[in-house]
């Protein structure tokens, strides 16, 4: 497999513009009652027409049979090998609330839990206490003083929070504390590498002090921590692809992901219409735009077939606005499938289309899992999508003499 270093040599800047619309959780599987998937049921005349004018196919996000999380699913779409590059759970959670995490900081995903008088877990989620209550508790344990480490505890939602630690020589090679089962005491953190001992001691000290601060409460009287991680040092899309890439995403986590791969994150609003307004306003300042659309995934995760159909129809109705911007290459892709019948991400290949002046249609009649199976792009690793996109945009020269 060619690596990003090798790609850099054949990438060339050009004035052509690329819009990559990522429909989160795009793919589905047939509802057993009807035999049709969400894409097959949805009325998506614009996407169907695009498919008829485009090169179509299916992306395999990670590997056949592997279900991706949002991190690896997006890294693949941006051309990064999801096995070589990894974004930890703590970092992803921090990105989700736009918490500042410095280059040498360590972030962890945390949550309040409830232990009994013997310190044994009776509720791993502390009754999912409301966010308002969490906020006060986060503030209380945020003020804990650990020598050599600055820490902040930031509420996320309900019982969940993010712990960010700053200091010299911190490491994220730490074990997690959630024993995943009730009736046991939360685990001590252990250092998984020699240079993690300092951070390990600091975290254990923080947990001990938190327990003291939260002592006496009926619930939410302890914390669990997992997914210790640092911001990975990824090669920038700007450098590798010789692009000026921008991200427009209503959800913070996707803005954070985009920032990690070197995109310029443009401020936008909360809806897809806000996003497209932003795109229209900035279309002349960049040559690559990543546009993220979340509702299809949310509906799929909820197991709500009709809501996913509606979400697909909503984004379909916005396609004409994207076309009016006259991009040289328009890509419609998904980071993974989220079939409503599974109510979760899944391992299934995801429909994809690339429309450029080099595509005039290839007999694919509509944008569904089955029609794209017959597309000329075939079924291919998502991490190779960017190469196809750059080629269609005339930004990739030939490899080898």
For residue 287, what is the DSSP state? Answer: S
Please report whether residue 377 would count as binding a second copy according to CB under 8 A.
yes
Q: Is 165 left (phi over 0), alpha (psi -120 to 50) or beta?
A: beta
End-to-end CA distance of the chain: 19
CB-CB contact of 123 with 141 (8 Å): no
For residue 353, the cross-strand partners are 56, 332
Please report whether residue 63 would count as binding a second copy according to CB under 8 A.
yes
Closest CA to 290 of 352, 339, 244: 244
Give least dist CB 364 to a second copy, A.
11
Please report whether residue 11 would count as binding a second copy according to CB under 8 A.
no
Give least dist CB 335 to a second copy, A.
11
Radius of gyration over alpha carbons of the chain, in Å?
23
For residue 149, what is the DSSP state? Answer: B
Give the interface segment with a second copy, choosing from 39-47, 138-146, 324-332, 377-385 (CB under 8 A).
377-385
Looking only at the bridges linking them, the beta strands covering 329-333 and 288-293 are: unpaired
Please report whether residue 373 would count as binding a second copy according to CB under 8 A.
yes
| E strand spans, 139-209 | 150-157, 160-166
Please, which residue, 83 or 100, has the CB nearer to a second copy?
83
Please report whether residue 8 would count as binding a second copy according to CB under 8 A.
no
Q: Which of residues 199-258 bind a second copy (CB under 8 A)?
A: 227
Give the interface segment with a second copy, choosing from 24-32, 198-206, 214-222, 278-286 (CB under 8 A).
24-32
Please, which residue, 142 or 391, has the CB nearer to a second copy?
391
| # of chain residues touching a second copy (CB under 8 A) | 67
Q: How far apart are CA 263 and CA 129, in angstroms?
A: 36
Q: How far apart are CA 248 and CA 279, in angstroms?
A: 7
Choose which of 30, 127, 179, 303 interacts with a second copy (CB under 8 A).
Answer: 30
Q: Which of residues 38-57 bind a second copy (CB under 8 A)?
A: none
Give the C-alpha distances (Å, rounded to integers) separating 401 from 10, 112, 223.
11, 60, 59
Please report whether residue 181 would count as binding a second copy according to CB under 8 A.
no
Closest CA to 350 of 316, 305, 385, 319: 385
Give least dist CB 15 to a second copy, A.
18
Please report whether residue 342 would count as binding a second copy according to CB under 8 A.
yes
Q: For residue 331, what is the enclosing H or E element?
A: strand 329-333
Choose which of 201, 303, 343, 347 interacts with a second copy (CB under 8 A).
Answer: 347
Please, which residue, 115 or 160, has the CB nearer to a second copy?
160
Choose which of 16, 89, 97, 142 interacts with a second copy (CB under 8 A).
Answer: 89
Please report whether residue 355 would count as binding a second copy according to CB under 8 A.
no
Looking only at the bridges linking them, the beta strands covering 160-166 and 106-115 are: antiparallel
Closest CA to 57 of 384, 397, 398: 384
Q: What binding mask, one character per residue, do residues 125-144 give for a second copy by CB under 8 A, x or -?
A: --------------------
Q: Give the residues lining the site for a second copy (CB under 8 A).
A: 1-2, 6, 10, 29-30, 32, 35, 58, 62-73, 82-83, 86-89, 92-93, 227, 341-342, 344-349, 358, 360-363, 369-370, 373-374, 376-381, 384-391, 396-401
């Amino acid at each position: 497999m060619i690596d990003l270093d090798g790609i850099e040599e054949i990438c060339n800047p050009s004035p052509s513009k690329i819009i990559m619309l990522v429909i989160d959780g795009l793919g589905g599987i047939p509802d057993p009652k009807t035999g049709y998937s969400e894409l097959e049921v949805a009325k998506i005349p614009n996407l169907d027409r695009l498919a008829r004018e485009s090169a179509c196919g299916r992306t395999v996000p990670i590997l056949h049979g592997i279900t991706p999380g949002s991190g690896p699913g997006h890294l693949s779409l941006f051309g990064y090998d999801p096995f070589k590059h990894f974004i930890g759970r703590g970092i992803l959670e921090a990105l989700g609330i736009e918490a500042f995490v410095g280059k040498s900081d360590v972030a962890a995903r945390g949550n309040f839990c409830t232990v009994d008088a013997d310190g044994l877990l009776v509720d791993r989620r502390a009754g999912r206490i409301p966010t308002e209550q969490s906020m006060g508790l986060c503030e209380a344990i945020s003020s804990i003083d650990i020598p050599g480490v600055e820490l902040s505890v930031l509420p996320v939602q309900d019982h969940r929070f993010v712990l960010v630690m700053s200091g010299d020589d911190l490491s994220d090679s730490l074990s997690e504390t959630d024993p995943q089962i009730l009736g046991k005491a939360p685990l001590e953190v252990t250092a998984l590498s020699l240079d993690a001992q300092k951070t390990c001691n600091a975290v254990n000290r923080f947990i001990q002090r938190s327990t003291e601060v939260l002592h006496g409460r009926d619930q939410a009287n302890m914390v669990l921590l997992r997914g210790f991680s640092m911001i990975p040092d990824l090669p920038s899309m700007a450098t590798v692809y010789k692009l000026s890439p921008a991200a427009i995403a209503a959800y913070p986590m996707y803005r954070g992901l985009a920032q990690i791969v070197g995109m310029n994150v443009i401020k936008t609003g909360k809806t897809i219409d806000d996003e497209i307004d932003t795109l229209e306003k900035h279309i002349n300042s960049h040559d690559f735009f990543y546009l993220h659309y979340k509702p299809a995934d949310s509906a799929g995760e909820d197991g709500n077939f009709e809501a996913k159909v509606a979400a697909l129809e909503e984004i379909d109705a916005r396609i004409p606005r994207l076309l009016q911007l006259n991009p040289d290459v328009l890509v419609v892709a998904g980071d993974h499938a989220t079939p409503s019948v599974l109510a979760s991400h899944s391992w299934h290949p995801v429909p994809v289309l690339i429309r450029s002046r080099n595509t005039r249609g290839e007999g694919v009649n509509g944008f569904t899992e089955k029609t794209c199976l017959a597309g000329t792009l075939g079924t291919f690793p998502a991490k190779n999508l960017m190469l196809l996109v750059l080629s269609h945009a005339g930004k990739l020269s030939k490899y080898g003499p």
